[in-house]
């Protein structure tokens, strides 16, 4: 009786370990990050671009864990000629967009978020659309930390965040219901 009970506990422990391990694997697969020189880069991502698109966007979170302020001034993207740091806003129905002059400052202890409708890397002179679920190599150029190599995850067209799977894989009639989540 006692042995059976012990076995049961062992079995539960084994199963629990498996569950935890698989959750950790899923989390690790979904989120990727880079850190160097007091900078933490969380989940760089881009989106599938429509055919013929000459531009795309890059998003991520940058946290300054160091003691000195730094600035994101540009970078590179394997599928584009140029990368600029841009800001987008919509005021009174008018979308305005332009380069962030002098780069995007990240002060110590702060996190700067590049996301849809806000700051983004403008990936210019696109040679081809990033493909869904691929990883595209690139670099982030900081004024002080220099170049940091990253890989951009590719989300569907229309995705509002890197984990938004409800967008369309290649944009046309490929998705399910109409319960697309919004991340405002």
Partner 1 sequence: MAAKTTLLARLRFALWGLVALAAVIAGALVLGHMQEAARQGASLPGAVRIGGEFELIDQNGKAFSSERLKAKPHAVFFGFTHCPDICPTTLYEMTKHLEALGSKANDLAVLFITVDPARDTPEQLNKYLSAFDSRIIGLSGSEAQVADVTKKYRIVAEKVGTSDGGYTMNHTATVFLFDGKGTLVSTLSWEEDEKTRQAKLDRLAERG
Rule CB under 8 A: which residues touch partner 1? 47, 49-57, 82, 84, 86, 88, 90, 93-99, 116-117, 120, 122-124, 157-158, 167-168, 170-173, 175, 178, 180, 182, 184
Beta bridge partners of 58: 46, 121
Residue 180, classed as helix, strand or coil, is coil
CB of 116 to partner 1, least distance (A): 6
Closer residue to partner 1 in complex, CB, 70/74? 74
Closer residue to partner 1 in complex, CB, 39/155? 155
CB of 61 to partner 1, least distance (A): 17
Query: Which H or E run includes 36?
Result: strand 33-36
Closer residue to partner 1 in complex, CB, 56/140? 56
Alpha carbon distance 87, 175 (integer Å) = 30
Closer residue to partner 1 in complex, CB, 39/85? 85
Alpha carbon distance 95, 73 (integer Å) = 23
Query: Which H or E run includes 43?
Result: strand 39-47
């Amino acid at each position: 009786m006692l042995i059976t009970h012990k076995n049961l506990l062992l079995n539960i422990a084994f199963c629990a370990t498996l569950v935890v391990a698989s959750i950790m694997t899923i989390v690790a697969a979904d989120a990727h990050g880079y850190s160097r020189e007091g900078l933490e880069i969380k989940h760089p991502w881009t989106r599938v671009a429509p055919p013929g698109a000459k531009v795309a966007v890059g998003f991520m979170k940058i946290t300054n864990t160091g003691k000195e302020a730094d600035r994101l001034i540009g970078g590179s993207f394997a599928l584009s000629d140029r990368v600029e740091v841009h800001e987008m806003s919509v005021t009174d129905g008018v979308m305005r967009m332009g380069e962030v002059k002098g780069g995007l400052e990240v002060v110590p202890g702060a996190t700067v978020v590049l996301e849809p409708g806000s700051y983004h890397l403008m990936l210019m002179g696109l040679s081809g659309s990033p493909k869904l679920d691929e990883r595209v190599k690139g670099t982030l150029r900081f004024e002080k930390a220099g170049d940091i190599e990253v890989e951009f995850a590719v989300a569907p067209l229309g995705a509002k965040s890197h984990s938004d799977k409800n967008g369309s894989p290649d944009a046309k009639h490929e998705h399910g219901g109409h319960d697309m989540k919004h991340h405002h």
